[in-house]
Amino acid sequence: MSLLTVGTVAFDTITTATAKAERVIGGAGSYSGWAASFFHTPVNLVSIIGEDFPQETIAEMEARGIQTEGLERVLGKKSFFWEGEYLADFSSRTTHATELNVLADFDPQLPQSYLSSEYVLLANLTPAIQKSVLTQIGSSAKLTVLDTMNFWMDTALDELLEVINMVDVLTINDEEARQLSGKHSLMEAATKILTMGPRYLIIKKGEHGAMLFSNDGIFSCPAIPLAKVEDPTGAGDCFAGAFLGYIAREQSTSFDTLKKAIVYGSVVASYCVEEFSLDRLKSLEWSDVEARYEMLVDMMTV
């Protein structure tokens, strides 16, 4: 009855049209683990950090039920670092720096206690590492979710396709779905991607919500209309973490459960973008999550 997430635990420097955050905590592992922990613990975190990563943040994670036995610290080296800048309307971003640091040699060996993880999130990371984790987990997994991005389609497509073929759920954004399938229509893109292995495809559309495609049907979830976005970094990771966290809590992989999980994923993502880093997640209460869940359900009730 445990959930595992593998992804970066790192530092980000982020510039938006109105503010800048320097070397704040980021990474797909941080965001997805934190988001999942609202719904289900323990969260078995798999990642790697350098000597520079604050012990205080690790203690905060542990206090939330995020297990860090699989969080490897390399002394004498630095944590993964990403620096980027968003356009004023957040429609695109420019990467100014990517320092792999400890990530360059990351080859995770899962702790014994992680090997029975039933719900597995392969958050955005090198496809080779995602595959290694999946292989170590083996057949204990009840639902495997792969999050990825266009960068891996450009640089490691063959390895990525191999992992895509091994998982139950793939989550990507609309442009990535078009790139992966070579089809412009999202309906045609989804039909094609569902022949590549996954039983479920989630297409994330930012302010336009998210769609779930499967042979069981299609579900469309709107996004919470937000008056202000501070920083969209981590929204997709939070979505995936909350999505799988809810499924782990419900102990169900039915289509109905997946639909509700998408609504919860959208809710946590909508809070994440209101502040930099994990700041909004840290102040988030369960009652906040429930309030926006009700709001979203209300928005789609005809």
Residues that bind its own copies (CB under 8 A): 88-89, 184-188, 190-191, 205, 207-209, 211, 217-222, 225-229, 259-260, 263, 297-302
Using the minimum distance from each CB to its own copies, give the nearer residue, 41 or 179: 179
Considering the complex, what minimum distance in angstroms separates the CB of residue 267 from its own copies? 12
Question: By C-beta, is 47 or 270 nearer to its own copies?
Answer: 270
Whose Cβ is closer to its own copies: residue 99's or residue 174's?
174
Smallest gap, in angstroms, from Cβ of residue 58 to its own copies?
Answer: 35
Minimum separation from the CB atom of position 180 to its own copies (A):
16
Q: How far apart are CA 143 and CA 131, in angstroms?
A: 15
Residue 193 tokens read as 């991607």
Give the nearer residue to its own copies in terms of CB position, either 142 or 192.
192
In the complex with its own copies, the residue whose CB is nearer, 70 or 198, is 198
Minimum Å gap between C-beta 15 and its own copies is: 17
Give min distance, CB of 262 to its own copies, in A: 8
